[in-house]
Amino acid sequence: MNYQILDFKLEDHIGIITISRPTALNALNKRFFSEMDWLISSLKTREDVSALIITGEGKAFAAGADITEMADMSPKEGTWFALTGQKVFESLEALPFPVIAAINGFALGGGCELALACDIRIASDKAKLGQPEVNLGLLPGYGATQRLSRLIGLGNALNLLFTAEIIDANEALRIGLVQKVTTAEDLMPEALKMANTIKSKGRKAIRMVKIVTRKGLDMNLEDGCNLEAQKFGSLFATPEMKEGTKAFLEKRKPEWPK
């Protein structure tokens, strides 16, 4: 595909997607979703990717769905576009490796929902986050009514959704919407450091942690723990587990099998 909005590079097993439509504050338009869909499809079976970072160019991570495109939609089109975006964010969430949102600036509406579909969020101290859809007479359409409360609890989620309040990075950290705050200069180095930390662990174990933790959210505790036990057991068949335990016992760093 000829990418016009997304810039993608893969270096040393770490992918970086940069949303690059800065004149519209990286607003998420139809083109963004088709490029993202294509890129995710090409990444989901790659065994050589350890982690993926998503960030934005300029002063926004993404300032929401493209309001220009939305303004004249019919109810049917609105539903269709919400479902299309949700499908893309679901496939992002389902990528087998960890995905880190490096939130460089505005992450509003659909932009905040994109960050919510990532596994971990790091924000620069310039970031502003919120779900301002009710200002437009809308509600979120790309999953915030579901993912936000799962991440930060019902009270915090409804507070943001009802008031459309735009919060800064430190408030986002306080309520658990982001996991780390850095200076603007340190944002990408910190995201890369986190990705490299992940890369240094057992690759299959990391992928299993993601599957079990995410699936467990939609299960009762007993079923979730049972799934954990099954996947835990399955890792005993891997050369990685043999090497990880052997390295510990030999007091050295593991040399993960390729």
Note the residues at the interface with ligand CO8 (CB under 6 A): 24-25, 27, 63-68, 70, 78, 81-82, 85, 106, 108-110, 132-133, 136, 138, 140-142
Residue in 160, 161, 188, 164 with CA at minimum distance from that of residue 175? 160
Nearest approach in angstroms of CB 160 to ligand CO8 is 12
Nearest approach in angstroms of CB 43 to ligand CO8 is 23
Is residue 133 part of the annotated active site? The answer reads: yes
Measuring CA to CA, how many Å separate 118 from each of 66, 241, 251, 254? 20, 27, 35, 28
Nearest approach in angstroms of CB 27 to ligand CO8 is 3
Identity of the residue, 86 or 238, whose beta carbon is nearer to ligand CO8 in the bound complex: 86
C-alpha atoms less than 13 angstroms from C-alpha of 242 in its C-beta half-sphere = 4
Identity of the residue, 54 or 208, whose beta carbon is nearer to ligand CO8 in the bound complex: 54
Nearest approach in angstroms of CB 81 to ligand CO8 is 4
Identity of the residue, 36 or 49, whose beta carbon is nearer to ligand CO8 in the bound complex: 36
Nearest approach in angstroms of CB 29 to ligand CO8 is 8
Which of 11, 35, 113, 185 is the catalytic position?
A: 113
Residue in 29, 26, 111, 19 with CA at minimum distance from that of residue 71? 29
For residues 99 and 27, give the distance between their C-alpha atoms in angstroms, rounded to a whole number.
Answer: 20
Is residue 113 part of the annotated active site? The answer reads: yes
For residues 170 and 183, give the distance between their C-alpha atoms in angstroms, rounded to a whole number.
Answer: 11
Identity of the residue, 10 or 24, whose beta carbon is nearer to ligand CO8 in the bound complex: 24
Q: Where are the beta strands (DSSP E) in the chain?
A: 6-11, 14-19, 51-56, 60-62, 99-103, 106-108, 120-124, 128-130, 167-168, 180-182
Identity of the residue, 164 or 235, whose beta carbon is nearer to ligand CO8 in the bound complex: 164
For residues 87 and 110, give the distance between their C-alpha atoms in angstroms, rounded to a whole number.
Answer: 13
Residue 63 sits at φ, ψ, to 5 deg, of -90, 25
Which of 35, 133, 190, 240 is the catalytic position?
A: 133
For residues 242 and 108, give the distance between their C-alpha atoms in angstroms, rounded to a whole number.
Answer: 45
For residues 68 and 76, give the distance between their C-alpha atoms in angstroms, rounded to a whole number.
Answer: 17
Nearest approach in angstroms of CB 123 to ligand CO8 is 15
Measuring CA to CA, how many Å separate 99 from each of 56, 69, 96, 190, 193? 14, 28, 9, 14, 13
Identity of the residue, 68 or 200, whose beta carbon is nearer to ligand CO8 in the bound complex: 68
Catalytic residues: 113, 133
